[in-house]
Amino acid sequence: MITAHVYFPCIHGDHNGDLNKLTCFVSSELRSLIKVASGMDDKIAENIIGASRYNENTSEAVQSVFVRVSNPNFTGRSYELALAIADKLCRYGFDENSQYFASGCIEANGCGSVSEVDGTRQKIQLIAKIAKKGDWVFFPIENQKKLTQSEAEQIQNMRATGIHVTFLESMDFFNQPNKHNDSSKLFKSPILGGKVRFNRATLKRISVLLILILSVMFALFMFDLPPKVSSIGTEVDQTIKKQVLNVLEPVLVPTDAY
């Protein structure tokens, strides 16, 4: 069972607050089930994860997850982005040497939109004390627009040390890796959404095989071959067709992967 942890900062008034750990476990045996051991209602978690999975186009999109929060005594909605990211990490794999931090709300519009949170200054300060090179930090893009100069400088300092600080408009950041280069570094297995197409190398291989097929068919059509030779030609033709099918089957890739 794959386990993923994402930390979300909890701020208490003007105090720095602390980090709460949200954990997701994935179950490959069950489908489309969201269960919470502590911290929130099952239905709320189901709505958040359902919205965050918008535009996923993989078999992992229907996997079940189980959720646990280390300290269930918290209020507010800023944990929602941490839940959405933990859900993806446990289903698609992640760098075990990295830590993940997030604060943001997932809107109930079904499209995984990420909205603003309060207490940005304290949350940035809290995460900056713990995050190290290779870690990932996520905030809503609306908060980026309202950063003070000191907050923006602290973000720059974090990035300078190799911490990935990312401001999100929606969970589409994870589902569309060709649009967001950083997201391709996040998961071991890409989350691929979008239409289907062939890549160039595959098209080249298919073209060669089709030319070979047409050549054999042309030879059989143009020459009056003896039955034995004609039979051999048919066997060759069938072999080539099988090769084409073997090429076509594994190479269907989503458009957004390139």
Tell me if 136 sits within 8 A of 186, measured CB to CB: yes
CB atoms within 10 A of CB 92: 21
Strand partners, 34: 65
pLDDT at 246: 57
Domain boundaries, the chain: 3-185, 196-257
pLDDT in tens, 48-69: 988 898 888 788 888 888 999 9
For residue 95, pLDDT over 80 is answered with yes
For residue 192, pLDDT over 50 is answered with no
Q: Provide the Cα torsion 238, 239, 243, 246; round to 10°.
A: 70
pLDDT at 223: 59
CB atoms within 10 A of CB 116: 16
pLDDT at 235: 58
Distance separating alpha carbons of residues 87 and 239, to the nearest angstrom: 44
pLDDT in tens, 123-146: 999 999 999 999 999 999 999 999
Considering the chain, what is the average pLDDT of its residues? 77
| Greater pLDDT, 101 or 238 | 101
pLDDT at 258: 32
Q: pTM for the full model? A: 0.68
Distance separating alpha carbons of residues 196 and 254, to the nearest angstrom: 4
pLDDT at 150: 94
Model confidence at 122, pLDDT cuts 50, 70, 90, reads very high
Residue 153 CA: distances (Å) to CA of 108, 117, 157, 168, 213:
33, 19, 6, 19, 63
Tell me if 187 sits within 8 A of 156, measured CB to CB: no
Strand partners, 101: 7, 137
CATH number, domain 3-185: 3.30.230.10
